[in-house]
């Protein structure tokens, strides 16, 4: 059938500006940019004020430390944008770590084969979450609290309290190798950057990604527009499982230790970083550059405070306060703009009420 | 046909009550006088303003102007609580009980009798509930949870609540819509006994047979205005229909005749338990088929099933001779179906997203280059469609939430026309939009049909259906009860088929 061409009475077509604001306003005045600026500011301040922060080792270890967070934050961002959450990621890290240990040491498999199997198992774990959420229709919070315990339980069940520590040096060294000798960038950044590119294309430059935002903002309208809501969610949870398992492989090799309780509690760090990076916990809002900045902010602050001799507890307090502030700031901004809007709108109802008052007195 | 001057002070008296939402006047001039000890029917088409009137009485909305007297005194309820406290009870079509609380607890929610030490006196509560049910002559165990009770029983509980509050005015908004014959009879018995106790009752219904069987007075509304009040004994079914419709419709929305092509949509024996049954119809290229009927008749549900958003139990949907798989909107879109859904803000748009993303949301898979989708491509595709529909916006990245209802509707239509559909299903095409945009939408639908598109239009506005449709299918309680050609479709025929009033009222009057 031919494209229906509509005729306008005046025969002229109106054109629209693509954007209401100039590009720099759209890019710079965002929450993501605020977080990036904060990272740069904290980094610059620490360079000048924290002893040894300017040592090349600082940045190197910072990257090694935050690598698992960086990796898992990628799929977590997409999941949270759809309005769901995955609390089982750290347990998948632990399970994957145990699997690599057992398969390499007891099974005699090579590290790459063991890693692939672990990642496949991670994908299955994620798909199980996704199935329960998307097709059975259970709330993801409840499902992944359950599988958080389930996957961690399996991991600890396999190895008990023991650890597998005998890994080929070739692989443990590779996990800590630098991309270019003398530079503070470890090898793990390469798979991270590849995945980052993939997730950026998926979220920001693909129909699938648009669907992810639609689901988070209005899943009913998304369904009416032909977005396969259930399948999208299934894929996201599957990806989260696979990437978490990859992080588990890295975690194991970096510390040369496969334990069931590896990365205990990391899920909350990941979610904190994602939220800090400007992703709305209610879904529909957020971008990956903000999330990367959010992870790095946590990394820089931890690293600077550790050099200052602060304990983990103090670091956690600071990051916790920062997270609460960031959440409050969004709500505060929303409240302020809501106030402004209701004030401009408020004039009409009040006059109509006044009218009704006068008319009822005259008639009554 | 103004009724005779009332001898006594009416329990409820509304005069020239007006209420607007934004630029849309839902109620222009509502008037109603309900006597104590009577059952007063309030009837009118969908959108006549009945619900708005009830909501003003219930304290949900505040009127903009007009007189509102309750038991002879001027009142102005700012909340449902103050309306309740004054003695007004509203029973809705679907009661809202707390499902996990017991029947007794539901009746006394928020005002439980207190015993020693300010503890809830359960025994007294239970006894009072029992005596309430005894008065109403119903058998419901007060201790059972509300979950699982039939709609009818839930309504009885709402009525019990109203009686325990000693409400002097009960408004029942289409209470019988979901009830079976026996349940309706029980409700009527209760209603009559309440009337005999001297309470005033307002009964809103689309079923004329019930109006004639139960009520003693009737008030008709149309287009947000009071039309007339009459004693039931002095009126007839046909007179009421004429009053409800009473307007010239032909010149309002002329559809230009277009040559009809092949069958595009073929629906055979579509059934979904409890919603619609054995629905069969066809839509041809260039044809506008109107689905008329009352709200809740199952029209939207039929459309949703055809489009694949909802499941159906039996039947087939065929587009251009090819079967459309069930329950897969994407497959339906692929087969050439577009669906402008009923609820614009919930189903039609992602209101927080930009105009461009909304317009491009269904076609974005076609806009990719090498699998990648850019905002530039979306803007480029969306711009011309926004322009064709004359969407009023500053820029394509403005959020749809900032726009008026009419403009939002244009965005939804643009989004679907961009898919180049063969069949456009449009549910309530002009609900809640201003009069100017309304005629634009009608002109557009006519033009699209002229270009050979098949259009299935659901509308609760009779003039819209009669003016636009080549053929009208009337749906009543999930079934197609009439198929009328443009020439033979009159408001009266449609209303008769939609209420099934024609046959039943004759019997009752006989």
**CB contact A229 to B (< 8 Å):** no
In a domain, A364, yes or no: no
Out of A4, A15, A221, the one facing B417 most closely (by C-beta) is A4
Q: How confident is the model at residue A188 (pLDDT cuts 50, 70, 90)?
A: very high
What is the full DSSP assignment across A125-139? HHHHHHIIIIIS---
A-chain residues within 8 Å CB-CB of B383? 15-16, 18
- Which domain, by its residues, includes A89? 30-331
Predicted local distance difference test score (pLDDT) of residue B342: 87
Predicted local distance difference test score (pLDDT) of residue B149: 84
Report the half-sphere exposure of B137 (CA within 13 A, side-chain side): 11
**CB contact B339 to A (< 8 Å):** yes
CA distance A221 to chain B (A): 4
**C-alpha dist (Å) from residue A342 to A332, A338, B264, B354:** 15, 6, 48, 22
pLDDT higher than threshold 70 for residue A349: no
When comparing pLDDT for A160 and B416, which is higher? Answer: B416
**How far separated are the first and last CA of chain A, in Å rounded?**
63
Q: How confident is the model at residue A360 (pLDDT cuts 50, 70, 90)?
A: very low
Which of A 13-72 lie inside 8 A of B, CB atoms? 13-20, 26
In a domain, A73, yes or no: yes
Question: Using the beta-carbon criterion (under 8 Å), do A16 and B386 form an inter-chain contact?
Answer: yes
Domain range B12-97+149-245, its CATH number among 3.40.50.300, 3.40.50.970, 3.30.429.10, 3.40.50.2300: 3.40.50.300
**CB contact B256 to A (< 8 Å):** no
Predicted local distance difference test score (pLDDT) of residue A362: 32
- The residue of chain A with its CA nearest to that of B450 is A4
Can you give the residue ranges of every domain in chain B? 12-97+149-245, 255-336+422-510, 345-420
Residue B88, phi-psi category: left (phi > 0), alpha (psi -120 to 50), beta (remainder) = beta
Question: Using the beta-carbon criterion (under 8 Å), do A360 and B67 form an inter-chain contact?
Answer: yes
When comparing pLDDT for A64 and B135, which is higher? Answer: A64
- Total count of domains within chain A: 1
Establish whether domains B12-97+149-245 and B255-336+422-510 are of one fold.
Answer: yes
The CATH code of the domain that includes A284 is 1.10.3470
**CB contact B398 to A (< 8 Å):** yes
- The residue of chain B with its CA nearest to that of A20 is B395
In a domain, A102, yes or no: yes
B423-427 β-sheet, strand order: B337-340, B423-427, B454-458, B288-293, B471-476, B479-485
User: What value does the mean pLDDT of chain A take?
Assistant: 88
pLDDT higher than threshold 90 for residue A354: no
Out of A7, A218, A360, the one facing B65 most closely (by C-beta) is A360
Question: Using the beta-carbon criterion (under 8 Å), do B387 and A19 form an inter-chain contact?
Answer: no
For the ranges A5-9, A214-218, B461-465, the maximum mean pLDDT occurs at A214-218
How many other C-beta atoms lie within 10 A of the C-beta of residue B278? 13
Question: Using the beta-carbon criterion (under 8 Å), do A355 and B63 form an inter-chain contact?
Answer: no
In a domain, A4, yes or no: no
Q: What is the pLDDT along chain B (510 residues), one digit of tens a residue?
A: 444 444 578 999 999 999 887 666 788 889 999 999 999 999 987 668 888 899 999 998 999 999 999 998 999 898 888 898 899 999 887 778 898 999 999 998 878 888 888 888 888 899 989 988 888 888 888 999 988 888 888 888 888 888 888 889 999 988 887 677 778 888 899 899 999 999 999 999 877 888 999 999 999 998 888 999 999 999 988 888 888 876 544 345 667 788 899 999 999 999 999 889 999 999 999 999 999 988 778 899 999 999 999 999 999 999 999 999 999 999 999 999 999 998 888 899 999 999 999 999 999 999 999 999 999 999 999 999 999 888 888 889 989 988 878 889 999 999 999 999 999 999 988 877 766 678 788 889 999 999 999 999 998 878 888 889 999 999 988 999 999 998 899 888 988 888 774 444 333 333
DSSP state letter for B246: -
Cα dihedral sign, A220-A146-A232-A131:
negative
pLDDT higher than threshold 70 for residue A343: no
A-chain residues within 8 Å CB-CB of B386? 14, 16
- The residue of chain A with its CA nearest to that of B396 is A18
Helix (H) or strand (E) holding B195: helix B181-196
- The residue of chain A with its CA nearest to that of B379 is A18
CA gap A212, A218 in Å, rounded:
10
Predicted local distance difference test score (pLDDT) of residue A351: 34
**CB contact B479 to A (< 8 Å):** no
DSSP state letter for B348: I
**Second-level CATH architecture of B255-336+422-510:** 3-Layer(aba) Sandwich (3.40)
A-chain residues within 8 Å CB-CB of B349? 218, 221
CA gap B221, B486 in Å, rounded:
26
**CB contact B379 to A (< 8 Å):** yes
- The residue of chain B with its CA nearest to that of A359 is B65
CA distance A65 to chain B (A): 33
Predicted local distance difference test score (pLDDT) of residue B8: 74
Write down the H helix ranges in B292-404: 299-307, 329-334, 355-359, 375-388
**How far separated are the first and last CA of chain B, in Å rounded?**
24
CA angle, A267 then A272 then A275, to 5°: 125
What tokens were used for B61? 């909305």
- The residue of chain A with its CA nearest to that of B15 is A363
In a domain, A298, yes or no: yes
Question: Using the beta-carbon criterion (under 8 Å), do A16 and B74 form an inter-chain contact?
Answer: no
CA distance B469 to chain A (A): 20
Distance of CA B144 to the CA centre of its chain: 32
- The residue of chain B with its CA nearest to that of A350 is B64
Strand partners, B21: B24
SS (H, E, C) B201-213: EEEECCCHHHHHH
């Amino acid at each position: 059938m031919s494209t229906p061409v509509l005729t306008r009475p005046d025969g002229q077509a109106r054109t629209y500006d693509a954007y209401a604001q100039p590009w720099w306003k759209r890019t710079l005045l965002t929450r993501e940019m605020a977080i990036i600026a904060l990272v740069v500011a904290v980094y610059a301040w620490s360079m000048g004020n924290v002893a040894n922060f300017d040592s090349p080792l600082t940045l190197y270890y910072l990257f090694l430390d935050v690598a698992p967070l960086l990796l898992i934050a990628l799929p977590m961002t997409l999941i949270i944008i759809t309005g769901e959450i995955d609390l089982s990621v750290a347990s998948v890290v632990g399970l994957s770590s145990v699997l690599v240990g057992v398969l390499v040491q007891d099974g005699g498999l090579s590290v790459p084969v063991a890693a692939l199997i672990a990642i496949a198992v991670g994908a299955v774990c994620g798909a199980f979450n996704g199935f329960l959420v998307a097709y059975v229709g259970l709330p993801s919070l409840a499902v992944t609290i359950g599988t958080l315990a389930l996957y961690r339980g399996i991991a600890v069940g396999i190895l008990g309290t023991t650890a597998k520590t005998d890994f080929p040096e070739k692989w443990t060294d590779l996990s800590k190798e630098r991309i270019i000798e003398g530079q503070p960038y470890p090898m793990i950044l390469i798979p991270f950057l590849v995945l980052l590119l993939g997730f950026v294309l998926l979220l920001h430059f693909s129909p699938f990604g648009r669907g992810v935002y639609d689901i988070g903002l209005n899943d009913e309208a998304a369904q009416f527009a032909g977005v396969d809501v259930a399948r999208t969610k299934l894929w996201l949870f599957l990806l989260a499982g696979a990437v978490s398992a990859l992080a588990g492989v890295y975690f194991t090799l970096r510390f040369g230790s496969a334990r069931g309780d590896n990365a205990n509690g990391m899920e909350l760090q990941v979610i904190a970083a994602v939220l800090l990076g400007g992703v709305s916990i209610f879904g529909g809002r957020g971008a990956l550059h903000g999330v990367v900045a959010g992870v790095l902010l946590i990394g820089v602050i931890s690293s600077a405070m550790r050099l200052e001799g602060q304990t983990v507890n103090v670091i956690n307090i600071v990051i916790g306060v920062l997270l609460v502030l960031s959440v409050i700031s969004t709500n505060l901004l929303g409240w302020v703009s809501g106030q402004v809007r209701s004030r401009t709108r408020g004039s009409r109802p009040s006059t109509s009420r006044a009218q009704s008052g006068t008319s009822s007195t005259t008639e009554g | 046909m103004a009724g005779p001057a009332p001898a006594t002070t009416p329990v409820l008296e509304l005069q020239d009550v007006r209420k607007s939402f934004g630029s849309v006047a839902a109620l222009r001039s509502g008037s109603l006088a309900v006597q104590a000890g009577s059952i007063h029917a309030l009837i009118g088409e969908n959108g006549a303003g009945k619900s708005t009137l009830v909501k003003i009485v219930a304290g949900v909305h505040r009127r903009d102007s007009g007189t509102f007297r309750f038991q002879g005194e001027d009142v102005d309820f700012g909340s449902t609580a103050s309306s309740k406290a004054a003695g007004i009870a509203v029973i809705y079509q679907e009661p809202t009980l707390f499902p996990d609380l017991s029947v007794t607890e539901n009746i006394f929610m928020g005002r439980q009798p207190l015993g020693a030490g300010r503890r809830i006196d359960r025994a007294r509560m239970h006894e009072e509930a029992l005596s309430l049910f005894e008065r109403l002559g119903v058998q419901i165990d007060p201790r059972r949870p509300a979950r699982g009770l039939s709609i009818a029983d839930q309504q009885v509980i709402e009525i019990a609540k109203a009686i325990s509050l000693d409400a002097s005015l009960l408004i029942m908004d289409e209470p019988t819509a979901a009830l079976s014959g026996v349940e309706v009879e029980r409700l009527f018995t209760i209603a009559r006994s309440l009337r005999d106790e001297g309470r005033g009752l307002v009964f809103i219904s689309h079923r004329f047979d019930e109006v004639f069987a139960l009520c003693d007075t009737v008030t008709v509304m149309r287009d947000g205005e009071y039309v007339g009040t009459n004693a039931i004994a002095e009126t007839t079914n046909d007179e009421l229909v004429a009053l409800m419709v009473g307007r010239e419709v032909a010149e309002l929305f002329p559809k230009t005749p277009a040559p009809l092509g092949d069958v595009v949509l073929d629906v055979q024996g579509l059934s979904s338990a409890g919603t619609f049954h054995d629905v069969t119809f066809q839509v041809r290229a260039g044809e506008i088929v109107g689905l008329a009927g009352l709200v809740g008749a199952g029209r939207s549900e039929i459309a949703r099933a055809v489009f694949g958003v909802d499941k159906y139990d039996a039947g087939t949907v065929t587009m251009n001779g090819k079967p459309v798989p069930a329950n897969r909107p994407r497959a339906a879109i692929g087969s050439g179906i577009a669906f402008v859904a009923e609820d614009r803000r919930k189903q039609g748009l992602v209101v927080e997203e930009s105009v461009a993303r909304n317009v491009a949301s269904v076609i974005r898979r076609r806009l990719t280059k090498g699998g990648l989708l850019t905002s530039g491509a979306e803007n480029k595709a969306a711009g011309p469609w926004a322009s064709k529909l004359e969407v009023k916006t500053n820029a394509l990245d403005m959020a749809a939430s900032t726009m008026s209802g009419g403009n939002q509707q244009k965005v939804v239509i643009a989004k679907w026309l961009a898919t180049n559909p063969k069949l456009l299903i449009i549910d309530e095409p002009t609900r809640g939009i201003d009069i100017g945009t309304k005629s634009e939408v009608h002109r557009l639908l006519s033009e699209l049909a002229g270009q050979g598109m098949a259009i299935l239009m659901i509308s609760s506005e009779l003039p819209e259906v009669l003016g636009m449709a080549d053929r009208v299918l009337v749906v009543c309680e999930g079934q197609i009860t009439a198929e009328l050609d443009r020439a033979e479709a009159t408001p009266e025929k449609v209303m008769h088929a939609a209420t099934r009033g024609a046959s039943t009222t004759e019997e009752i009057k006989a």
